[in-house]
Chains A and B, each alone.
Chain A
Amino acid sequence: MQTPQFQGIHLFDRLCWAKENLDGVQSDYRVVYEDSVDECAKILVPDPNWMATALQGGILPPVWVYHELAKDEARSDFKKHTRGYLLHETEPMPAMTEEEAIEYLIMKDCPQSVWRNWNEGNKPKMVICRKEQLPSTREWRNAWKITEELTVTDLAA
């Protein structure tokens, strides 16, 4: 199905179109990351309807738009977004592969402190894995950590 020309159309309206016309895509990818030594590992789960929009193309804004909005929100005098038009006016992303969509989602929904230097330090701060590679039960969930035995070299291999 051809995506309509969406540049200039409110992102929420595009999502309405996607919900009506695209089937959800359940990804098997999961992103495990640690953003605090005092907290357990967190697991990022892609939304199936979002994944469908990413694979379709022409709907989602470039990820830098979210970073610009995050900068605005981080200001001490932030009250409300005044540059929301970036979400709607910027040329949408073309169709992505599932792997490219996961990379986009990491840059959108994981803290920048994690993905900007994920491979610096004694062990990786972030790992992309398959759902079946996660522990099969929720036992001791709040103690889950990325294993110390996993090195950046392992990930590159």
Chain B
Amino acid sequence: MALGKIKADTLEHSTAGSLDTKFVVKGSAKHWSHTNSAGTSVEDSFNNASLTDTGTGQQTHNLTSSMSNAVHSPQCSVGQNYNQQWISNIATGSYRTNNHDGSNYQDSEQHPVTHGDLA
């Protein structure tokens, strides 16, 4: 792959109008991964250095290219129908996803993604 550059501030469609390229750069997901239920392997990912199996239902996702600040916007979906999922321990280089059924943490495959600015 050649590392050529196309520099453009605007993308323009023939009929649908134009879009500032900063919307694309700023709005794209900066990290995602797909882990297995036990938190013992990463199936596929982008900008993911490692996964930490922190305990039942809890996985910490460690980024390769860090975020600029610790107020980026992680989200996570899971593979089963549990009723509580939340994000904790957000730092510029990692965040933790938690999966709970209302009584206990439960293992599930997790699909975290975050948006925000890169360092």
- Please give the residue numbers on chain A whose beta carbons come within 8 Å of chain B beta carbons, in ascending order: 4, 9-12, 15, 17, 19-21, 24, 26, 30, 39-40, 42-50, 53, 60, 66, 69-70, 73, 78-81, 84, 87, 105, 108-109, 131, 134, 138, 141-142
Contacts and interface: CB of A to CB of B under 8 A. Distances in A.
B92 A73 contact: yes
Contacts, number: 119
A69 B92 contact: yes
Question: Which of the four size classes fits the interface of chain B?
Answer: 35 or more
B1 A20 contact: yes
B14 to A, nearest CB: 28
A66 B93 contact: yes
Contacts of B55: 39-40, 42, 141-142
A128 B47 CA distance: 23
Given A26-B41, A138-B38, A50 B65 contact: no
B88 interface: no
A69 B107 CA distance: 32
Contacts of A24: 44
Contact of B64 (A43, A60, A69): A60
Contacts of A39: 55
Nearest to A9: B3
A44 B60 CA distance: 9
B91 interface: yes
B92 A19 contact: no
A107 to B, nearest CB: 12
Contacts of A4: 1, 3
Given A9-B3, A45-B53, A49-B45, A87 B40 contact: no
12 contacts: A4-B1, A12-B65, A17-B3, A43-B39, A44-B50, A49-B45, A69-B93, A80-B68, A81-B92, A81-B119, A105-B49, A109-B94
B54 A87 contact: no
Contact of A11 (B46, B52, B64): B64
Most A CB atoms within 10 A — which of B33, B42, B107?
A: B42
A15 B92 contact: no
